[in-house]
Chain A
Amino acid sequence: MGIYILKRLILAIPTLLVASVLIFSLVHLAPGGPIRVMLGDYQDPVLIERLRHQLGLDLPLYQQYLRWVGNLLRGDLGFSITVHRGAPVAQLIAQRISVTLELATFSMVIALLIAIPAGIISALRQNRLSDHIARLVALAGVSIPNFFLGILLILIFGVYLRQPWGAGGFVPISRGLGKNLAHLVLPAIALGTAYAAIIMRMMRSAMLDVMGQDYVRTARAMGIAEGNIVRRDIVKNALIPVVTVIGNSIGYLLGGSIVTETVFRMPGVGNLVINGIFRRDFPVIQAVVLFIVVLRIVINLVVDLTYGVLDPRIRYGAAE
């Protein structure tokens, strides 16, 4: 197991290398730059040159890239140019990561609490009314973009119903868990709905697949009660493929949090990267996107390790 994890981590190095090149080139391909933003209407050529030199933007691109990677390896993520001038990016991420993680976790919890039972019921009552309703809702859930759902929720709960927690914003846990969670409910629903829909459909089809398996028939032939069969034969085995989807979709949650945080005015990492993009803050964009890549690699590894818990046929690293 230890060797397996080590192997996976070594394999992550080329992934990160390619990701860093892509991120760097895309950022520098985009028109405009941080200096334009900094100077606003006052675009003095001499000043521009001086700032370019100061920020190292006058160096050839490959040198800029090497410098960035070199700094990264020393643990230096760089400094913000425009969003929070002079602030270390690492510190900016550290301040905001808890908001994003809380939002993503809460969305996932809500999504799983809805999706897993709905998928189970839907499969057990295949082609009956409850199944049709669940599938219809799931279809709608996948189809509605999360920013639209977010705006809709703010409109209903914030504007019409005038709920204090309905208009966005973020309350840190230090000011009370209740308030904190109340403000998270709408963003979590906006972000988690599509996620729930995907998982529910996956759970349903995995259940239907397992229900046709021979070992389910064996259990019935042995006189096992139906509830026990559903729990130990059907759900347990159906969860294996669903965990893959759950894991893969965590990337979707991180991506979706960028939009959701903006709609709900939440001071998270997603919000930071959006501001960075609008204001051409190269170090911020590069560092945050790379950070999200690292997060994803780690999450994928964790997901792969959970298979071993669910499926005894998978054992890592050691031969039988």
Chain B
Amino acid sequence: MSEVLLSIENLVTRFYTELGVVRAVDGNSLQLGEQESLGVVGESGSGKTVTALSVMRLIENPGRIEGGRILFRGEDLLRKTERQMRAIRGKDIAMVFQDSLSSLNPTLTIGEQICRVLKFHLGLSHRERWQRAVELLAQVGIPEPERRVKHYPHQFSGGMRQRALIAMAISCSPQLLILDEPTTALDVTIEAQIFELVEGLKQAFGMGTFLITHDLSVVATFCDRVVIMYAGKIVEEAPVTELYDRPLHPYTRGLLGSIPPLEGGKDRLDSIPGEVPDLINLPPGCNFSPRCQQAGERCWREEPPLEAPAPGRRVACWKAGEPDG
């Protein structure tokens, strides 16, 4: 791995709701190298988005970042003032959100929304900003950018809106681009185009990318390394190829089993029985134990530590690597 771009150390983010304390991110550590693509995979509620929002320091009430460090190019983001963070957001670290329609202001044109990001971070004159907005739209593959820049979000198709959102995110050439399920609302052909676009931009700008998804097949084509999260904790980490060849955690195996094989020949896809546990009342021992078919006595009682069985690999399971029982 090259220089470390982002290093999260023992991050704890909790939400203090009326029903109790939600342990959304529970002591996780991970690293992202410069120009590296990291995939963060997990079901809804596994803490992937909260991890990303913690990096952006955009956790809102009743949420709080309670512990750990988030080092971005060696500087702890948790020690920055709100003002310093504002200068970093959108400039050094940018984020693309899931639903492009609700993520864009319906009453401002695409151009106005891009220009205002440029204005806050780069200054530039009015003319230069609009010039740059048109260039950015062209760069993300929007046809007729001079005309489109004056359109409102609702006049764009879903795929075009996501491109516009990406244009806004890369407008100040960030070093880290966080993508939070950027293609969930899009159909498969558009999804492929969007990832192609991001891949190209990644090369052009030399960005590191932090891709949040629940789709392991997307990770396979786009990422270098994968982190699997479950109930607020990292349960497995591996380089992409190794993860597919030799998944160690039973949960990862369950996820891989739920992908339809290309050759067909499977009548029913495998599913993982049960549901994600309530993050307020986590089970004792391993969080996954109530759903795990291999779980034994120890799994119910003791929480497995995240260990490194091989270089570049981490797994938190007492029975890591044991064949399915």
Check A224–B120 contact: CB distance below 8 A. yes
Check A221–B58 contact: CB distance below 8 A. yes
CB nearest neighbor in B for A310: B107
B271 interfacial by beta-carbon distance below 8 Å: no
A9 to B107, CA, bound (A): 28
A233 interfacial by beta-carbon distance below 8 Å: yes
A214 interfacial by beta-carbon distance below 8 Å: yes
Which residue of B91, B104, B109, B120 is within 8 Å of A218 (Cβ)? B104
Which residue of B85, B87, B97, B107 is within 8 Å of A311 (Cβ)? B107
A278 interfacial by beta-carbon distance below 8 Å: no
B248 interfacial by beta-carbon distance below 8 Å: no
- What string of 1s and 0s marks CB contacts (under 8 Å) between A238-260 and chain B? 00100000000000000000000
B88 interfacial by beta-carbon distance below 8 Å: yes
A312 interfacial by beta-carbon distance below 8 Å: yes
- What string of 1s and 0s marks CB contacts (under 8 Å) between B115-148 and chain A? 0110011000000000000000000000000000
A320 interfacial by beta-carbon distance below 8 Å: yes
The interface size of chain B toward A, counting residues with CB under 8 Å, comes to: 31
Q: What are the residues of chain A within 8 A of B116 when measuring CB–CB?
A: 222, 224, 228, 232
Check B90–A233 contact: CB distance below 8 A. no
A237 interfacial by beta-carbon distance below 8 Å: yes
Check A223–B108 contact: CB distance below 8 A. no
Q: What are the residues of chain A within 8 A of B291 when measuring CB–CB?
A: none
Check A222–B117 contact: CB distance below 8 A. yes
A218 to B165, CA, bound (A): 9
Which residue of B103, B152, B168 is within 8 Å of A313 (Cβ)? B152
Check B94–A222 contact: CB distance below 8 A. yes
A228 to B102, CA, bound (A): 19
A62 interfacial by beta-carbon distance below 8 Å: no
B154 interfacial by beta-carbon distance below 8 Å: yes
Closest CB in chain B relative to A90 CB, distance in Å: 43
Check A232/B108 contact, CB under 8 A, given A221-B56, A222-B89.
yes
Check A213–B89 contact: CB distance below 8 A. no
Check B58–A311 contact: CB distance below 8 A. no
Which residue of A217, A222, A224, A313 is within 8 Å of B154 (Cβ)? A313
A220 to B120, CA, bound (A): 12
The interface size of chain A toward B, counting residues with CB under 8 Å, comes to: 23
Check A223/B107 contact, CB under 8 A, given A213-B102, A214-B99, A320-B155.
no
CB nearest neighbor in A for B83: A225
A110 interfacial by beta-carbon distance below 8 Å: no
B77 interfacial by beta-carbon distance below 8 Å: no
Check B105–A232 contact: CB distance below 8 A. yes
Check A215–B89 contact: CB distance below 8 A. no
CB nearest neighbor in A for B169: A222
A221 to B86, CA, bound (A): 8
Closest CB in chain B relative to A309 CB, distance in Å: 10
Closest CB in chain A relative to B101 CB, distance in Å: 9
Q: What are the residues of chain A within 8 A of B154 when measuring CB–CB?
A: 312-313
A233 to B104, CA, bound (A): 10
Q: What are the residues of chain A within 8 A of B260 when measuring CB–CB?
A: none
- What string of 1s and 0s marks CB contacts (under 8 Å) between B141-184 and chain A? 00000000000101100000000010011000000000000000
- What string of 1s and 0s marks CB contacts (under 8 Å) between B17-52 and chain A? 000000000000000000000000000000000000
A274 interfacial by beta-carbon distance below 8 Å: no
Which residue of A219, A237, A320 is within 8 Å of B106 (Cβ)? A237
Q: What are the residues of chain B within 8 A of A311 when measuring CB–CB?
A: 106-107
Footprint of A on B, CB under 8 Å?
56, 58, 85-91, 94-95, 97, 99, 102-109, 116-117, 120-121, 152, 154-155, 165, 168-169
Footprint of B on A, CB under 8 Å?
213-215, 217-225, 228, 232-233, 236-237, 240, 310-313, 320
24 A-B residue contacts at CB 8 Å? A214-B102, A214-B103, A215-B103, A215-B104, A217-B97, A218-B105, A221-B94, A221-B95, A222-B90, A222-B94, A222-B116, A223-B85, A223-B86, A223-B88, A223-B91, A224-B120, A233-B105, A236-B105, A237-B105, A311-B106, A311-B107, A312-B107, A312-B152, A313-B154
Other A-B contacts than A233-B105, A313-B152, 19 sampled, CB-CB below 8 A, are A213-B102, A214-B97, A214-B103, A217-B97, A218-B103, A218-B104, A218-B168, A220-B58, A221-B97, A222-B116, A222-B169, A223-B120, A224-B120, A236-B107, A237-B106, A240-B107, A311-B107, A312-B107, A312-B109
